[in-house]
Structure formats: structure tokens, C-alpha cells
Structure 1
Amino acid sequence: MSKKILICDDSGIARKQLSRVLPKEWDAEVAFAANGQEALDHIKQNPTDILFLDLNMPVLDGYQTLEALQGVANAPKVLVVLGDVQAQAVQKVTALGAIDFLKKPVSQDVLQKAIEQHGLFGSGAASGLVVSGSAADDFSLNQCLQEVSNVAMGRAASVLADMLNVFVKLPVPKVNILEVSELQMALSYSSMNTERCSAVTQGFVGAGIAMEALLIFSDSSFPDMAKLLNVSEDIDRALEVELQMDISSVLIGPFIKALGDQLNIDFSYSHPVVLGQHIKVADLINVKRAQWKRTLAVEIVYEVDNYKISCDLMLLFTEDSLPVLENLLSYLVEDE
């Protein structure tokens, strides 16, 4: 009997990527949902055997969807597709009933092995795999960059989580083309606009792409940052710089490495430097106003569960990097 499959991800690119690696000979029908609520509505109205589920989504995320499925009769088998590979994320989804997890971007061999291991694969239908509807419509540079940033974000959070034995909350990355005057408004984490903050900046270049990574810390984060790093002495400015450098090396380095791997680029980089300490976001932006003009900005807000730690990572690409990025990211949407 043909399997009924639902792919649930807020990224049309991720939906398309996953649908492309499903075995063409699989006796299965594929449908799509853009968030957890859409998935639940579909499952309640249509028999569904297998759900490939993303975690970081608006409306209803993967964790909430798994919780809701526990009250649904004949719920599908759930394989979680993780950009976030933190050990605690895996434990959470397993406890909520997921039978397996697949790391983004999913390879054909890994997916084939998983569905065979769980007895989900079957062939025999004359038409093989049938896809109902489209994974997505047209794609933009912003959408492509958001998806590779989502994967890179998960890699960086995993390193931080393993190092500190914590769970890092992750948002959906925001991608926008901005004028320098709009950068302050782009910092969506509200306390960043009212509290004083400190920041580390680092430059990266490679294959015609130039960008600056800007990691902004709310000043209220320093006590818990010190606690997590087992620092017991009084926090002075020198120690704050040390804490900033330790955390930024963990969040920026793995993020850029994962981004470069997806773009097939080895980025060269400058030494990280402190951009400012105990200043307002507006003043922080003014420090770089002469260098930043029109930029493609990727924004990610990291929060550590059960700790008062928040930091805002912004990648600021130069305007002349955009055509190169668009060309490099085109592989995400190319048809086979």
C-alpha cells in the first residue's frame, strides 16, 4: 500500500531539498506543510503515515507539533529534520515520540537508510514516488540565505551547548537588505534597544564574498556568562572582554565554517576585536556608520535556556557580494 508522506518545514527550499532526496522508486505520495499548524490540519483531514518535521518554525514549531500529535489518533511516524543538532534537542524530540532524526541538509543515502531501518520503505507502484503540489514557488536570495543560515545556526548552537552543557534556544533567522540607518531597527531583541550592550566584530572574505560578523551582548548577560564558564572572580572590563571573546569564538567560528561548507568556500578572517562596551545600540551602529552602507543582513538571536543570556549575531554582507552569493546559492533551487 502506498505510503502517505507529509514534509513540514517553513522553508520552501528545505521542503524542495528533502523531496528531491526521497527515493524515486518509493511507493509513496508526498504533500507539504509550511508550519506545524498546517501539518496538524492536514493530518486530521488526510491519512498520513510519515511526517518529516522541522523544529524551528513560526505559528507552531516542531516541539509543539510533536506534543499536539500525542493526542491525535493514528498519528504518523515522525522523523525530525534537524538544523539544530544539540543533544538536548535530540532528547526532547525523542521523548515526544519522534522515531529518528536527520541532520540538515539530508543526504539521499542517510534518508534511504533511515526509512529502511524503520520499515517504512516499499516499492512496487508503477508510478513510484508521487508528489502532490509543489514544495514552493519562486525562490529569492533571502530565502536561500535564510536556509543555509538556519543550518549554520544549528551547528554553532550545538558547539555552545556541548561546551556549556546547556540548551540554546534558536529562532528562525531573519534576512533583509538594509540601509545603515535601518540596522538599529533590525535588532529585533527588544531589550537590546533599551539596555546597554557590548559587541565583538570580525571580518571574513572568500570567493568574492566579504562580510562582517557582529555579535552583540546585552550587558545583563555577563553575570550568567561568567557562571557558565566557571569564572568566580569579580567581573571587571578586562574579564568582560575575555568572556565576550570566548563566547564569540564559539558562536561565530562554527557558524562561518558551516556557512562556508554549504557554499564550498574557505573563508579567510581577521582577528576579532571589541567594537564597544556598555554603550547603546544606536551608538554601536554609529561606530561603524562610515563603513556600512547598504548591506544584506542576517540576524540571529541566541538565548540560553534557564539563564539570562542573550546575544544578537548579525552577518553584514557588502552590497557587491550579493551577485556572488546569489550564484553560489543557486544550487539549492536547481532542478535535477
Structure 2
Amino acid sequence: MNVLICDDSAFARKQLARALPAGWPVTLHQATNGLEGVEQVLMGHGDLLFLDLTMPELDGYGVLETLKREGIRSKVIVVSGDIQPEAYQKVMSLGAIDFIKKPASGEQIVALLERHGLWRTDEARTDVAPTMALTVEARDVYQELANVAMGQAADLLARLLDAFVVLPIPNVNVLEVSELHMALNAAAKQETLSAVCQGFIGAGIAGEALLLFHDSSFADLARLMKFEGELDRRAELELLMDTANVLIGAFLRGYANQLDTPFSQGHPVVLGQHRPIEALIQTNQSRWRRTLAIEINYRVDGYAVQCDLLLLFTEDSIATMNNKIMHML
């Protein structure tokens, strides 16, 4: 089943995603306003829709009116801070199956889904482990480790391109697979991407480095690398692999050195060229589960060159890394 969370607040979308049952076998999508929500439903991404009422572009009432007018039979659960009796009556008359107040707890969501026959306790995957805790102190350490490794990778890229690389604050989070998909969607926005993935392993730590390269970046990247010749698909692949080798290799070396744990790297794998992020997620969703994710956005100042590097550490790696960073806390 395709489940769509439609809310203009990124915090509210993440909070609701966390409240969904662990191990629920669904594909999760998101929309940031009512118009995007209607588009996602028309794309088949809204078998079940969690819908906010107060949104820009098109509010929740407008979404319900549109679905009703078009004869679209998505099941809609309104999740809103507006709990006036009139609001409840209006959304139910427009076809919503239920109404729940923000913020919704996991227990409330489970009870609601069971009431409507959308989820049963025995559907939960038995391989889902308890939620991993990431303390504030541990997040700060992982963020600083990533900050140092990110800087080393950016230095190599800057020297290669003879340009200034703008660096963000690394984003560190423990993510469920549904939240990871949401993060990937947010990183890519509406662009098509080319993506490279490279596995790594060392002394109880394993994971994958994922480089998402925005397709609009190829022209300027070719110019910076003084590439001569036709910029065809093969040439773009060469540029993509060169960039991935620099950023992934340098980051992993810098990160491993700080943990005093050398990593062995697998061969880089091209996940796709010029594809929407949805297609990449759909093709590779079985490989991405609960993970410690470090997200970094690299941008070249003055040029349309942008890529997102995600380091996805396996759940089993967290305990090992936590032990290694204890002296840093």
C-alpha cells in the first residue's frame, strides 16, 4: 500500500512518520502542500492519505473537494490542529474516513488503523529491532567526525576543480526506512539524479556511501574539469565516477582515521542515471533499512554544481561506533 503524508511542516511529517507502526509493509510518500498532495495521489501514491488542513497552495479542504470531484477513492485521515466541531463535520462530509488531533501518538495511530482495518498487530515484521537511541552528546560527536571528514573531501574536490566548495552543517539522524525515503525525496526535490553507491566495512562497522548527483550540474562540472568533447551519457558517467571517487573516498578515509578503524571499500555501483529519486528508491528500497544517516550537501560556489552525500551505517554498527567515541564524549 502507498501511504502519503501531506503537510507543509517537515517536522510534522517526520513526527507522523515516526508514529506509524514499526514494520508496517507500506511505501511512504510525502507532499508539502495540497497541490503536491493531489499530484501524488494522481500518481498512485495515495492509497491512504494523512492530510493536514492548513497548508499553502491548496488547503486540506481543497484536497478533499478535489478528490471527491474527481471520484478518487483514496482513504483520507485528517491530522490537524484545528479541532473545531465544524472542521470535523466538514471533512467527514467531504469523504474523510477519520479525524485525529495533532500531534498524534503511535498508540493513537495504531488504534485508528486497526479500527479501519488498515493494519493488524500480526502484520508487523518480527525482524524490527527496538528504536535506536542517539543521545545529544553522541550526535554532536558524529557531527564533528563528519565535519572533519567532509572538510577533507571538500579540500580534494576544490583542488580538483580549482573552485570554492560551500560546506553545510552535517545532518546526523537515526532513520527508519520510510524516513530515509522522505529524506532522499527532500534532498532531490524535483530534479532527476544520477546516483553512485559504494559499500564499506571494517572492524564491526559497515554501511554504504550514497552520492546523489543533480543532473543539472553536469554542464558546469564538465567546464570546471576542463572536459573536452561531447557531453554524452558516457562522458557524464565518467564525470560522475570521478566525483564519487573523490568525495566518497576522502570522506571515508577521514572518518575511519578518526575512529582508528580502517575501512575496506567495495566497488562503486551506479544505481541509475537521469532518474527521478522515486525510481531510485523503488529499485533499491530493499537495501536501505533502519540506519544511522549522515547527510552532507556539497555545492560549488558560483556554479550550478550540487550533490548530496549520504553515509548510511547499518544498525549493528552503532554499538561499535558508540564504544569507539566514548573517549570523545
TM bucket (normalised to shorter chain) is 0.5 to 0.7
Q: What SS does structure 1 have at the residue aligned with 2:287?
A: coil
1:253 counterpart residue number: 249
- Residue 189 of structure 1: CA displacement? 6.0
Which one of 286, 303, 310 corresponds to residue 307 of structure 1? 303
**1:28-39 mapped onto 2 (5 Å cutoff):** none
Would the alpha carbon gap of residues 188 and 287 (structure 1) be closer, same or farther in structure 2, given more than 3 Å must change?
closer
Instruction: Establish whether residue 216 from structure 1 lines up as the match of residue 212 from structure 2.
Output: yes
Instruction: Establish whether residue 163 from structure 1 lines up as the match of residue 153 from structure 2.
Output: no
Q: Name the CA distance, whole Å, in 1 between partners of 2:225 and 2:272.
A: 22
**Conserved in 1, the CA contact under 8 Å of 2:185 and 2:277?**
no
Runs of 4+ aligned residues of structure 1 deviating over 4 Å after TM superposition are none
Instruction: Establish whether residue 296 from structure 1 lines up as the match of residue 292 from structure 2.
Output: yes
Q: What SS does structure 2 have at the residue aligned with 1:140?
A: helix
Amino acid in the other structure paired with 1:257:
R
**Conserved in 2, the CA contact under 8 Å of 1:189 and 1:301?**
no
- Residue 224 of structure 1: CA displacement? 0.7
2:141 counterpart residue number: 144
TM-score using structure 2 length? 0.57
- Residue 220 of structure 1: CA displacement? 0.3
1:181 counterpart residue number: 178
Which one of 217, 222, 228 corresponds to residue 226 of structure 1? 222
**Conserved in 1, the CA contact under 8 Å of 2:160 and 2:225?**
no
Q: Name the CA distance, whole Å, in 1 between partners of 2:232 and 2:144.
A: 39
Which one of 260, 273, 276 corresponds to residue 264 of structure 1? 260
Instruction: Establish whether residue 235 from structure 1 lines up as the match of residue 227 from structure 2.
Output: no
Q: What SS does structure 1 have at the residue aligned with 2:261?
A: coil
Q: What SS does structure 1 have at the residue aligned with 2:208?
A: strand
Amino acid in the other structure paired with 1:140:
E
**1:9-28 mapped onto 2 (5 Å cutoff):** none
Q: What SS does structure 2 have at the residue aligned with 1:154?
A: helix
1:206 counterpart residue number: 202
Instruction: Establish whether residue 331 from structure 1 lines up as the match of residue 327 from structure 2.
Output: yes
1:322 counterpart residue number: 318
Q: Over residues 19-66 of structure 1, what are the superposed CA-to-partner deviations in whole Å (9 max), with x where a residue is unaligned? A: xxxxxxxxxxxxxxxxxxxxxxxxxxxxxxxxxxxxxxxxxxxxxxxx
Q: Name the CA distance, whole Å, in 1 between partners of 2:139 and 2:184.
A: 17
**Conserved in 1, the CA contact under 8 Å of 2:199 and 2:206?**
yes
Q: Name the CA distance, whole Å, in 1 between partners of 2:304 and 2:185.
A: 17
TM-score using structure 1 length? 0.56
- Residue 243 of structure 1: CA displacement? 0.5
Instruction: Establish whether residue 194 from structure 1 lines up as the match of residue 203 from structure 2.
Output: no
Q: Name the CA distance, whole Å, in 1 between partners of 2:143 and 2:206.
A: 17
Q: Name the CA distance, whole Å, in 2 between partners of 1:187 and 1:310.
A: 14
**Conserved in 2, the CA contact under 8 Å of 1:193 and 1:280?**
no
Number of aligned positions between the proteins: 195
Identity of aligned residues (%): 51
What is the RMSD computed on CA atoms of the aligned residues?
1.4
- Residue 184 of structure 1: CA displacement? 3.0
Q: Name the CA distance, whole Å, in 2 between partners of 1:215 and 1:245.
A: 10
Q: What SS does structure 1 have at the residue aligned with 2:228?
A: coil
Task: Flag structure 2 segments of 5+ consecutive residues without an equivalent.
Answer: 1-134
Which one of 249, 269, 274 corresponds to residue 278 of structure 1? 274
Q: Over residues 52-92 of structure 1, what are the superposed CA-to-partner deviations in whole Å (9 max), with x where a residue is unaligned? A: xxxxxxxxxxxxxxxxxxxxxxxxxxxxxxxxxxxxxxxxx
**1:97-136 mapped onto 2 (5 Å cutoff):** none
Q: What SS does structure 2 have at the residue aligned with 1:158?
A: helix
